[in-house]
Structure formats: structure tokens, C-alpha cells
Amino acid sequence: MCAKSRVASPGAGGTSLCSEGRISLYCFLITAALVLIPSVPQNLYGVVPQVWGAVLWGPFLYYALINMIIRFVLRNHDYQVAIRASFLGFAMAVSVLVICFAPTEWQQFGAYGCFMSLFHYSEFLVIAFANPRTLSLDSFMLNHSVHYGLAAAASWIEFSLEVYYLPQFKRYGYIWVAGVVLCLLGEMVRKAAIITAGRSFTHLVQNEKHSEHKLITSGIYAYCRHPSYVGWFWWSIGTQIVLLNPICICIYTLVSWLFFHDRIYVEEYSLLNFFQSDYVRYQKRVPTGLPFIRGYLVD
């Protein structure tokens, strides 16, 4: 889960990408293209007869070569940015290959991989555009937390076991497509929140109010008080619907709801201290955006 600042400095982020953002974008797109372009013809024309041969053999060789080139061209911080963006581009490309060539019951895992790759890369890219002064390697959110990693691993284990023992259960395409829609909506809501907040958005909670800060109530914040949390909440549930993981759907929903319930309560306590009656009026006009979560309300 993420923590964010809910106060804004005047002005928004820059109107163009910073250098780290441009490097990441080039590496993400070029890696994805260089993995996909040779791999698709190999599968279509039978050069590699098995899809898993194409996914695990060819693209890994291309990826290794790309990493060697990046290591030769870039150094220090630029290299660290490039290698992460390249990895996410590689993950995106392999996920597309899984969607196109894997057995039916594995195709939604490819869709899941696309959403995971896009989520983590777009976190960095949007911060690079909206608030570059807070940009860091942590903006990729790849090292978010142990709990986040364990949750992802649990979903992979459940999916693999169910594919092995109940493969027919993973073939209800009309259900996992609903998860695709939910992931897309969650992504759009979260990224709209980051862009609207501009320089105010970070992945860390601000506990001190500075003289130039102001309360954000415009754009998507006019419809819900915590849109970045709303987007992540529904995106996380959508990933498990994509995988058709019934156990993880229930666990992700419960754990995410509990996390955001506590996070919003603590965050709004600070916001009420910062903005007092202005925030009380904002609370009365606009809901949190999450079901059955009211936030910290003043009696």
C-alpha cells in the first residue's frame, strides 16, 4: 500500500519529463519492443515450437543482451533507473507473449503480469512528470514492503495450484475480463490523483504543515477525498479477479480494506489539524471513496 501527502504546494509538476523519466521511458519501451519483435515471429512460424520455449529462452537472451548494453552505456543512478525500467519492460513483453501463445488457463496470468508491470512502471513515470523533485528509485515501488511481496507470492501459488488441480476453473474468460476492467479503472483513478495533486503527492505521509501548503479539493478530489487509495484498492482486487483466485480475492479485499480504513483515519487526523474547519466542510461534501470508510470525523 502507499502513503501519500494530501497537501499541495502552489503549482504542479513540470510540463515535461525530467531526465530520469526520459531514460526510464526509453528503456521500458525499447526493451519491450526488442523482446517482442523477434519472439512473435518465432512462435508464429514455428522457429520455437513450444510457447514456453519462446517465453523462457528467446526473450531471456534478448534481455541479457539489452542489460549488457545498458551497463556499457549508463553509469551510477542512471543505470539503476534504466535497469529497473528495462526489467519492467521485459516483464510486460513476456506477459504479452503469455497472453498470445500460452494455453487458455494461463492467459490471464499474462494479463496479470501486464497490469503488475504497468502499475510499477507508471508509478515512476507519473511521479517523474508530476513531482520530479521527490523522484527516487523507490518510486518504482518494487521494494514496497515484505507484506506486499508475500501477498503477490500467495496469489501466484494459489493460481498455480488451481491451474494444476482445477484447470477448468481458470477458463471462465468473461469473469477475468471483469477484473481487467477493474484494474484499468483503478489505474486511471490512481494516476489521475497523482497528477492532480502534482507536487503534493509523495509515497510518504507528511506530518507537518508548511506555510505554502493548501488543501486539494479540485479535479478528482472533488469526487472522493482519497482517490489514490481508491484506485489502489480496486486495482488490487481486480488483479485477483483476473487470476480467478477466489481465496486471494477475499483476503485482498479484507486486508486492503483494513489497511485503508486505518490509514485514512490517521491521515485525516493530521489533515484536520492542518486545515481545521476547511477540512471539516470538505468531509461533509465529499466521501472518502471507499466502501464503509468514513475517516476521522469530528463530533
Phi, psi of 4 (to 5 degrees): -140, 160
Helix (H) or strand (E) holding 7: strand 7-8
Beta bridge partners of 235: none
The whole-number pLDDT of residue 3 equals 40
Helix (H) or strand (E) holding 194: helix 173-197
What are the per-10-residue average pLDDT scores of the chain (299 residues)?
Answer: 44 70 97 84 53 59 89 95 97 91 88 97 96 93 91 97 91 86 98 91 74 83 97 98 96 97 92 91 96 92
The whole-number pLDDT of residue 2 equals 42
The whole-number pLDDT of residue 111 equals 95
CA 14 – CA 36 distance, rounded (Å): 32
Catalogue the E-assigned strands of 13-100. Answer: none
Q: What is the residue type of 96?
A: V
Helix (H, G, I), strand (E, B) or coil at 208: coil
The whole-number pLDDT of residue 210 equals 67
The whole-number pLDDT of residue 24 equals 97
Q: What is the residue type of 287?
A: P
Beta bridge partners of 214: 8
Fold assignment, 144-298 = Four Helix Bundle (Hemerythrin (Met), subunit A) (1.20.120)
Catalogue the E-assigned strands of 150-191. Answer: none
Q: Identify whether the C-beta of residue 222 lies closer than 8 Å to the C-beta of residue 95.
A: no
C-alpha grid cell for residue 84?
529497473
